[in-house]
Amino acid sequence: MPVFEYAPAPESRAVVDIAPSYGLFIDGEFAGAGDGKVFKTLSPSSEEVLSEVAQAGAEDVDRAVKAARKAFGTWSALPGSERAKYLFRIARIIQERSRELAVLESLDNGKPIRESRDADLPLVAAHFFYYAGWADKLAYAVRGRSALNGTSGADPRPLGVAGQVIPWNFPLLMLAWKIAPALATGNTVVLKPAETTPLSALFFADICRQAGLPKGVVNIVTGDGSTGAELVGHPGIDKVAFTGSTEVGKAIARTVAGTRKKVTLELGGKAANIVFDDAPVDQAVEGIIGGIFFNQGHVCCAGSRLLVQESVQDELLDALKRRMGTLRVGDPLDKNTDIGAINSAEQLARIRSLADAGEAEGAERWAPACELPSSGYWFAPTLFTGVTQAHRIAREEIFGPVLSVLTFRTPEEAVAKANNTPYGLSAGIWTEKGSRILWMANKLRAGVVWSNTFNKFDPASPFGGYKESGYGREGGRHGLEAYLDV
């Protein structure tokens, strides 16, 4: 298949002004850390330092929690319809500033502009619009508390101050998943973005000011894991919401055990993308590609284990390899780029070591010929065949552009293999047969099951895991319950 030559199509960097340094956003003001500590955030595609950001210590976190506590009284007492106005305003400002935010996100994270522009930003705005719509309807939102069934017409109560810690793979989208439902339900928040991608959260702080949001309702504290640990361990918060690795999730669960804090955890995944012999091959190939190479594979619900029915293995893998050969890896700000930079040197090292383990354990590695830029962090889209369930690349989350291929003969075997994982976040099924989709979806132990598609998101649809993928649900009506006293 001929690969087209593309002229460079760079998005302009000039649409966003990045300051040389940023403070913490506490009680409506930006200020440095009490002890003056800072860290650098860089662009993973060039290793260029983008800005210097304050590293919040225990005293700063304490100040942020107190600001959120002080703001809670008035914010929670506002009628839902008034809180909704702020959320609608934030949603509209995000839309107005979406080009700036998309460029910023691609610079700080390394993801292709095509994705930050067409996936991240529209979903971020949609989340705020969606939860704005719920803010004055909370009495109807929660099970057993409906004015319609006569039990109670009163609005359910917010929890108080939410401490929220998010990862680097979808910085602004994870912020939206956390902040929109918290504010709609009348809580106030202290949020800590990931240390490699703090900038879009700091721009969001500016949007809060632009929207006239009362001081202290949203506080942003930047820093590394130690800042996150200070936040989740702070006695002044009522709710912990965490998205990140299963390892840190377990540590957080231990920290809050025995306290009155409510917790939701969104952790790792190792999803099966299951292709039957009657699936349309080209459509399935697109779904497999999107499932594992979207966002460089830095996706907790990535379809990282391809389970293909043995009889169509050769045909499917040929088509998949041809398609992988057309993926364009490179400058995240180029509008034709499909795969951007790996987020950090640490993540690149993790991906490399797991891919090496795949080879060492006897799986066969394949990647299309592709030239990688000389500076920055890069990993070519990679496929492993001959993978068994015992291999580390079939069991551990790689969180990179690496697909492990396993085969099956019967639907029962597909279910058994798909469920043979400590995780349970998502799964995909590709088949013409509706009855088989329903049969499979009932048996798969995964929070989301996509059929004949993959990685589709909507704010109205709840998202969350089984087993070591975490507990609690975000998104949809379910996502409100995590922030309400019910």
Cβ proximity of 191 and 164 under 8 Å? yes
Beta bridge partners of 77: none
Report DSSP state, residue 147.
T
The SS3 of residue 448 is strand
From residue 389 to residue 428, the character string flagging contacts with ligand NAD as x (rule: CB under 6 A) and all else as - is --------x-x-------------------------x---
Interaction of residue 113 with ligand NAD, rule CB under 6 A: no
Stretch that binds ligand NAD, among 26-34, 106-114, 167-175, 179-187 (CB under 6 A): 167-175
Q: Which is nearer to ligand NAD, 75 or 204 (CB)?
A: 204
Count of beta carbons in the 10 Å neighbourhood of residue 144: 9
Interaction of residue 336 with ligand NAD, rule CB under 6 A: no
295: left (phi over 0), alpha (psi -120 to 50) or beta: left
Tell me which amino acid residue 341 is: A
Q: If residue 130 lies in a helix (H) or strand (E), which one and from where to where?
A: helix 121-134
Residue reference for tokens 């929109």: 180
Residue 165 site contact among ligand NAD, Mn ion, none (CB < 5 to 8 Å, cut-off depends on kind): ligand NAD
Give the list of residues 6+ apart from residue 438 with CB closer than 8 angstroms, or none.
none
# binding residues, Mn ion (CB under 5 A): 3
Q: Which residue is nearest to ligand NAD (CB)?
A: 228
From residue 4 to residue 43, the character string flagging contacts with Mn ion as x (rule: CB under 5 A) and all else as - is -------------------------------------x--
Interaction of residue 194 with ligand NAD, rule CB under 6 A: yes
From residue 238 to residue 267, the character string flagging contacts with Mn ion as x (rule: CB under 5 A) and all else as - is ------------------------------
Which of 245, 259, 420, 453 touches ligand NAD (CB under 6 A)? 245
Shortest CA distance to 403 belongs to which of 274, 269, 303, 325?
303
Stretch that binds ligand NAD, among 5-13, 125-133, 160-168, 404-412 (CB under 6 A): 160-168
Q: If residue 94 lies in a helix (H) or strand (E), which one and from where to where?
A: helix 80-96
Q: Which is nearer to Mn ion, 39 or 439 (CB)?
A: 39
Interaction of residue 196 with Mn ion, rule CB under 5 A: yes
Q: Which is nearer to Mn ion, 44 or 358 (CB)?
A: 44
Report DSSP state, residue 248.
H
Q: Is 266 a catalytic residue?
A: yes
Which of 50, 229, 403, 418 touches ligand NAD (CB under 6 A)? 229
The bridge status of strand 48-54 relative to strand 38-43 is antiparallel
Cβ proximity of 365 and 374 under 8 Å? no
Interaction of residue 45 with ligand NAD, rule CB under 6 A: no
Interaction of residue 232 with ligand NAD, rule CB under 6 A: yes
From the candidates 115, 230, 266, 468, give the one annotated as an active-site residue.
266
Count of beta carbons in the 10 Å neighbourhood of residue 64: 31
Q: Which two tokens stand for residue 162?
A: 């939410």
Give the list of residues 6+ apart from residue 365 with CB closer than 8 angstroms, or none.
355, 358, 359, 382, 383, 384
Residue 41 site contact among Mn ion, ligand NAD, none (CB < 5 to 8 Å, cut-off depends on kind): Mn ion
Which of 195, 238, 331, 481 touches ligand NAD (CB under 6 A)? 195
The SS3 of residue 48 is strand
Cβ proximity of 238 and 162 under 8 Å? yes
Residue 385 site contact among ligand NAD, Mn ion, none (CB < 5 to 8 Å, cut-off depends on kind): none
Catalytic residue list: 266
* Residues found near ligand NAD in the complex (CB under 6 A): 165-169, 192, 194-195, 224-225, 228-229, 232, 243-245, 248, 251-252, 266-269, 300, 397, 399, 425, 470
* Residues found near Mn ion in the complex (CB under 5 A): 41, 108, 196
